């Protein structure tokens, strides 16, 4: 496909995505939503809805399966207080942590607030300001250690600009930028809750990608953004911050693949019935006038790939879980089980291999042996 054909194809895709969304404005992507893309990259339903900028929360609510998300006021207050503590006095506490973690000499530290742009809070201006100062830093500040607070980054998601307003700072040290992610979940004896740590890593990967993209656009080497992000959390049961380096290369690779897939969402959209729409235009009373049953059929027209991870990452999780109930696919047991059962597609097949009523197919001998062993151990213990 040449450049003109690619452009034309892109316009057709965007037009189709607009029609799928209907008469409501696209929902802007935030870092949580972008990060969640990497949690279930094989789900066509999520890819299509996100590419079209559809409000999945409103969709789930109209379907009768409201999303289980939303932090409690207590958790929000706690998170804000912890972030304020870390950033107090020009990020003094954060600098202490960074000095320990990155071996930064005391003299090499400066603080720049990129959110301070003379009272104009528009995203466009704040982003331009971030670009200007980070460009200057990349050119001139190779030796200095400098914290950049409140940067506003940007990523193109399926033709739309997503502005990412992180609670992170970009830290330039020795010519390399580090993303710093501040989270209020506790790290106890060096361990955080795996779900929370994984979500933080995925979210940090979004910022790494956005910062790499910005540097590349400015003509700098994107490799100057470190893959190791600095994760700051309260340590043990006190509120004292602790920092650790987290390698987000894997999350970054998944995110890149998924974003590339979204830009090729046209192939998914081509396979949908003509005239399909997820339109949720509100009536005079502010409530979508469309019958829920009709919307349900529309959503079901796009293939889903439900997995337990969806419960912590996607607004449609209760709807998709309900839809998937009774299905046989081992995908439903989660990524870890699915990977461990590699090549065994259904629960019935796995049970048959375990109790010996089914002969293993080619390449299934080892997993069949392990399943039979597990079955025997289970029988002995129960």
Number of residues that bind ligand SF4 (CB under 6 A): 12
Are 224 and 54 contacting, i.e. CB atoms less than 8 angstroms apart? Answer: no
Asked if residue 129 binds ligand SF4 (CB under 6 A), the reply is no
Q: Considering only residues 204, 265, 316, 368, which one is a binding residue for ligand SF4 as defined by CB under 6 A?
A: 316
Q: Considering only residues 31, 102, 304, 353, which one is a binding residue for ligand SF4 as defined by CB under 6 A?
A: 304
Integer Cα distance of 304 and 10 in angstroms: 24
- Nearest-Å Rg of the Cα atoms of the chain is 24
Comparison of 105 and 326: residue with beta carbon closer to ligand SF4: 326
- Residue 246 backbone phi and psi in degrees, to 5: -125, 125
| Least spacing, CB of residue 168 vs ligand SF4, in Å | 25
Comparison of 44 and 232: residue with beta carbon closer to ligand SF4: 44
Asked if residue 226 binds ligand SF4 (CB under 6 A), the reply is no
Length reported for the chain: 382
Residue located via tokens 């889903």: 304
Comparison of 205 and 317: residue with beta carbon closer to ligand SF4: 317
- Residue 355 backbone phi and psi in degrees, to 5: -95, 5
Asked if residue 198 binds ligand SF4 (CB under 6 A), the reply is no
Pairing of β 228-234 and β 176-182: parallel
Asked if residue 60 binds ligand SF4 (CB under 6 A), the reply is no
Integer Cα distance of 322 and 304 in angstroms: 12
- Count the neighbouring beta carbons within 10 Å of the beta carbon of residue 81: 12
Asked if residue 59 binds ligand SF4 (CB under 6 A), the reply is no
Identify which range of 89-97, 231-239, 267-275, 299-307 contacts ligand SF4 by CB under 6 A: 299-307
Integer Cα distance of 26 and 50 in angstroms: 9
| Least spacing, CB of residue 292 vs ligand SF4, in Å | 17
Asked if residue 320 binds ligand SF4 (CB under 6 A), the reply is yes
Are 54 and 314 contacting, i.e. CB atoms less than 8 angstroms apart? Answer: no
Q: In sequence order, which residues have a C-beta less than 8 Å from that of residue 285 and are 6 or more positions away? A: none
Asked if residue 295 binds ligand SF4 (CB under 6 A), the reply is no
Comparison of 60 and 368: residue with beta carbon closer to ligand SF4: 60
Are 309 and 332 contacting, i.e. CB atoms less than 8 angstroms apart? Answer: no
Asked if residue 317 binds ligand SF4 (CB under 6 A), the reply is yes
- Count the neighbouring beta carbons within 10 Å of the beta carbon of residue 303: 13
Asked if residue 212 binds ligand SF4 (CB under 6 A), the reply is no
Site string for ligand SF4, 156-195 (x = CB under 6 A): ----------------------------------------
Are 154 and 214 contacting, i.e. CB atoms less than 8 angstroms apart? Answer: yes
Q: Considering only residues 16, 46, 87, 183, which one is a binding residue for ligand SF4 as defined by CB under 6 A?
A: 46
Nearest to 182, CA basis, from 95, 88, 30, 79: 79
Asked if residue 306 binds ligand SF4 (CB under 6 A), the reply is yes
Comparison of 201 and 310: residue with beta carbon closer to ligand SF4: 310
Give the residues lining the site for ligand SF4 (CB under 6 A). 40, 43, 45-46, 304-306, 310, 314, 316-317, 320
């Amino acid at each position: 496909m040449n450049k003109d054909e690619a452009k034309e194809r892109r316009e057709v895709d965007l037009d189709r995505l607009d029609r799928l969304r209907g008469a409501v404005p696209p929902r802007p992507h935030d870092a949580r939503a972008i990060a969640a893309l990497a949690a279930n990259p094989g789900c066509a339903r999520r890819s299509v809805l996100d590419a079209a900028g559809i409000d999945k929360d409103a969709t789930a609510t109209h379907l009768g399966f409201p999303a289980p998300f939303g932090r409690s006021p207590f958790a929000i207050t706690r998170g804000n207080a912890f972030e304020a503590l870390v950033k107090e006095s020009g990020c003094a506490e954060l600098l202490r942590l960074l000095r320990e973690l990155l071996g930064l000499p005391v003299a090499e530290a400066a603080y720049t607030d990129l959110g301070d742009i003379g009272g104009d809070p528009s995203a466009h201006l704040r982003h331009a300001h971030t670009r200007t100062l980070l460009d200057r830093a990349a050119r001139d500040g190779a030796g200095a250690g400098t914290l950049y607070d409140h940067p506003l980054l940007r990523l193109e998601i399926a033709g739309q600009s997503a502005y990412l307003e992180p609670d992170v700072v970009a830290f330039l040290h020795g010519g390399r930028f580090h993303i710093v992610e501040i989270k209020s979940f506790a790290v106890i004896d060096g361990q955080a809750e795996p779900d929370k740590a994984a979500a933080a890593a995925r979210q940090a990967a979004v910022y790494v990608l956005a910062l790499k993209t910005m540097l590349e656009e400015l003509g700098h080497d994107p490799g100057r953004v470190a893959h190791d992000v600095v994760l700051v959390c309260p340590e043990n049961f006190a509120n004292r911050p602790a920092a650790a380096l987290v390698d987000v290369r894997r999350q970054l690779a998944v995110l890149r693949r998924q974003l590339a897939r979204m830009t090729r969402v046209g192939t998914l959209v081509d396979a949908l019935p003509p005239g399909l729409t997820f339109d949720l235009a509100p009536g005079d009373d502010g409530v979508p006038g469309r019958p829920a049953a009709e919307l349900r059929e529309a959503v079901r027209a796009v293939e889903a790939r439900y997995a337990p991870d969806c419960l912590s990452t996607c607004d449609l999780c209760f709807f998709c879980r309900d839809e998937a109930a009774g299905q046989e696919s081992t995908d439903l047991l989660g990524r870890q089980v699915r990977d461990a059962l590699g090549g065994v597609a259904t629960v019935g097949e796995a049970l048959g291999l375990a109790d010996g009523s089914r002969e293993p197919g080619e390449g299934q001998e080892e997993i069949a042996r392990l399943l039979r062993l597990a079955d025997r151990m289970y029988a002995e213990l129960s």
